[in-house]
Amino acid sequence: MIQTSADPVEDILKRGIKDRWYPVLPSSMLTIEKPVSRRILGYKIALWRDTEGNAHAVEDHCPHRGAPLSLGANLGDRLQCPYHGVEVDCTGKVRKVPGSPGCKLDGSRPTRMFHVREVADVIFLYNATDPHLEEPPELILPEQITSPEFSSFLCYCEWKSDYRMVIDNVADPMHGAFLHKMSHSMSEGETEAKFVTTDTEHGFIFEKEGQRGVNFDWSEFADTNLFWQRLEIPYPKTGGPGGNFHIIGMYVPINDRLCAVFHWRCRPLTGWQKDTWRFLYKNRLEARHWHVLEQDRVALEGVLWKNRQI
């Protein structure tokens, strides 16, 4: 649960800024067989797939008596509440009230709905201010996870940290030379640096002045109706073909002390080089990358947002 505070701006930030797309669940965690209940972005959300496999999402509260819709039956384009059989469709409209057909609730639209897109092995929701927004803006993702010129792996985990601490961490190139110094690809570079900021079309790049291609030297933050971050890690030849290792990151609040962490690990590869790298990644490199992430997790879970120094 996300606690409220005396600061209205802080309350908004803790829940995630409205009118943006957010990743909420890896595709593999939602099957046709059973709806999923997900607390995220200050909501409790029911997600399910229809008979064609398309994902849908509404707030996980039956408008009749408040029972979780996610515990009910999946009827394709709607969920049936397990308590009294009320049926709510993917637009938030009540389609049937078995115990009282034709009542005021029947045909009304009291339930918040969420627009859904499924891309890059992840389910994205639009966190609209309007609970029944007719059409959301386009979901614009970085090319590293949409272009056929790149190959990527999704990495998902949950950390006991304010999601903003993870954003800070990824925007901070200096920590790589210290926290990750023993990593197989982050042992080089200066431990003292001057930083510069460069504006981009959708955000900015924050980087070490005069150092590129040595370590975790820069980080990009972008807002394309979706907040995402990007960085590159130089790779030795033993890391296989494809040049630098790209990381795309997105971070979402579950509650005050828990967040959803989405990373895509990407390289610009096609053909046999793509196959070679994917084999090498699953057999050798993935464990090393989890080791680096674990260093971040341990450090961030020990930091309270209110105690940070800027």
Please give the full DSSP string across 159-183, using - where no structure is assigned: ESS-HHHHHHHHT-GGGHHHHTTTS
Q: What percent of the chain has pLDDT over 90?
A: 64
pLDDT, tens digit, 9 for 90 and up, residues 89-108: 999 999 999 988 889 999 99
Domains defined along the chain, listed by start:
23-126 (2.102.10.10), 143-307 (3.90.380.10)
Mean pLDDT, all residues of the chain: 89
Out of 35-49, 165-179, 229-243, 290-304, the most confident range is 35-49
The count of other CB atoms within 10 Å of the CB of residue 160 is 13
**223-243 mean pLDDT:** 85
Q: CA 24, CA 28: separation in Å to the nearest integer?
A: 12
Whether the per-residue pLDDT at 6 is higher than 80: the answer is: no
163-170 and 286-301 are packed helices; what angle lies between their axes, rounded to 10 degrees? 120
Check whether 305 has a pLDDT greater than 80: no
